[in-house]
Amino acid sequence: MTKVIGPPRPLLDKIAQQLNLPVGKAHFGSFPDGERLVKVEEDLAGETVLLVGSTGPPVDSNTLELALLADAVRRAGAARILAVIPYLGYSRSERVSPAGSPLACRVIADLLSRCGIERLVTLDLHASAIAGFFSIPVVEVSAIPILSQSLPKFRAGKGVIVSPDAGGIRRATHLASLLGLPLGFAVKHRSSPTQTQVLELWGELHDRDVILCDDIISTGGTLAEAAKIAFQQGAASVVAIATHAVMAPGAETRLKEAGIKRVVVTDSLETQIPWFEYVSAAPPLTETLRRLI
Ligand code: R5P
């Protein structure tokens, strides 16, 4: 038998429902000193377990909680553990930059690879090469097809997909090919975690409806800067799609002030921004999980 387990969250329920699987009982809390407290409250002997969790904010606590849950599930006798972690925290620390920094993404990958998880299913990794940091197989599912279905209609011949940085060109190319639209991209410089500068924007943007396509919205600086330059270059409108709405404080205001009128994101994280359009990542994730189980 297969069961779904994890800290309570809507995406877990949707995945369990769509796969028609029971949700296993577990308790999540804290010890008085702040350490995470996790307890599996049913027999999982011989079961295949889909461990669904988030490593979104608070990233450190959620990540450790998942690792502890995986260990508890393994000790409860599960035969197989497939982890579904749509958003991978620390994924932007996938290189040592600036010098003197840790390769944090690798540290997280080591932790998650060593707690009993057999395979990891995730959504739009910041960089696909991150899969190689894990010593377990990683299956990366793309949210671009479902996000593309929620985009507004554009004036014929006027739409253009823009990647707000060089790292996102692969995702933006995927979207552009699905929609049959031309592609542009920005050259971005990040001087600190909160300071982003778009140096240049390539592509024909005059009188165009621009669709910015990114993986993560954190401070909102990347999308806001790209939108500002797009308007300076004559764009008629700017909308944005992104897989993971991390939404650090101030991000919503930054996007609004930059004139971005619509933002389409997935429910990989629990942030709720009233004017955002949320599409569920459950269908593409369950399609992959069905094949794996
Ligand atoms: C960076 O390389 C990512 O692809 C995103 O562009 C970035 O994480 C967005 O962060 P922020 O919203 O803080 O600019």
Question: What single DSSP character describes residue 152?
Answer: P
Residue with tokens 């955002």: 276
Instruction: Give the DSSP per-residue string, 120-147.
Output: EEEES-SSGGGGGG-SS-EEEEP-HHHH
List the structure tokens of 45: 């002997």
Instruction: Tell me: pLDDT of 250 over 90.
Output: yes
- Could you tell me the distance, in angstroms and rounded to a whole number, from the CA of residue 219 to the centre of ligand 1? 8
* C-beta separation of 185 from 200 below 8 A: no
Instruction: Tell me: pLDDT of 129 over 80.
Output: yes
pLDDT score at 135: 98
**pLDDT-above-70 percentage for the chain:** 100
Mean pLDDT, range 252-264, rounded to an integer: 97
Q: Among 262, 198, 185, which Cα is nearest to 224's?
A: 198
Other beta carbons within 10 Å of 177: 12
Instruction: Tell me: pLDDT of 196 over 90.
Output: no
Q: Is the CB of 162 under 6 A from ligand 1?
A: no
- Could you tell me the distance, in angstroms and rounded to a whole number, from the CA of residue 89 to the centre of ligand 1? 13
Instruction: Tell me: pLDDT of 198 over 80.
Output: no
Cα separation, 119 vs 136, whole angstroms: 6
pLDDT band at 200 (very low <50, low <70, confident <90, very high): confident
pLDDT band at 212 (very low <50, low <70, confident <90, very high): very high
Count of CA atoms in the C-beta half-sphere (13 A) of 15:
32
Instruction: Tell me: pLDDT of 257 over 90.
Output: yes
Q: Is the CB of 63 under 6 A from ligand 1?
A: no
**Which of 87, 88, 91, 92 has the most ligand 1 atoms within 8 A of CB, as the residue to mutate?**
92
* C-beta separation of 72 from 39 below 8 A: yes
Mean pLDDT, range 263-284, rounded to an integer: 97
Q: What is the atom index within ligand 1 of the atom nearest the CA of 196?
A: 14
pLDDT band at 157 (very low <50, low <70, confident <90, very high): confident
Q: Among 62, 85, 98, which Cα is nearest to 193's?
A: 98
- Could you tell me the distance, in angstroms and rounded to a whole number, from the CA of residue 30 to the centre of ligand 1? 31
Average pLDDT, the chain: 95
pLDDT score at 59: 96
- Could you tell me the distance, in angstroms and rounded to a whole number, from the CA of residue 1 to the centre of ligand 1? 40
Residue with tokens 């939404």: 247
Instruction: Tell me: pLDDT of 199 over 80.
Output: no
Mean pLDDT, range 6-11, rounded to an integer: 96
Q: Is the CB of 106 under 6 A from ligand 1?
A: no
pTM: 0.96
Instruction: Tell me: pLDDT of 54 over 80.
Output: yes
Instruction: Tell me: pLDDT of 154 over 90.
Output: no
**Which of 91, 130, 218 has the most ligand 1 atoms within 8 A of CB, as the residue to mutate?**
218
